[in-house]
Amino acid sequence: MAVGVDDIAALTKARSLLMLLLATCKETQLALGAAANVLDTDLTTDLEAMIERSEAELIALNAKLEALSTT
């Protein structure tokens, strides 16, 4: 199976967007923690879950890109 430049470009773009999302979530989490607002506990919990999912997806995208670059 031939690997197209479009495939690598699409995965690279997805990885870049995911990295932006991950950074935004982490910064928001830091801001909420610094504010110590009890009302933000649901959002903090949601952010933690999103960070975990995003980190797992980032690992998967990196593995895909690594596999494509060696073929």
Indicate the burial class of 16 (C-beta count within 10 angstroms; 0-12, 13-18, 19 or more).
exposed
Pick the residue with more confidence: 70 or 11?
A: 11
- Per residue in 18-60, pLDDT tens? 999 999 999 998 888 887 776 678 888 899 999 999 999 999 9
Distance between CA atoms of 32 and 40, rounded to whole angstroms? 7
Indicate the burial class of 30 (C-beta count within 10 angstroms; 0-12, 13-18, 19 or more).
exposed
- pLDDT for the residue numbered 3: 60
Pick the residue with more confidence: 1 or 9?
A: 9
Q: Where are the domains of the chain?
A: 5-69
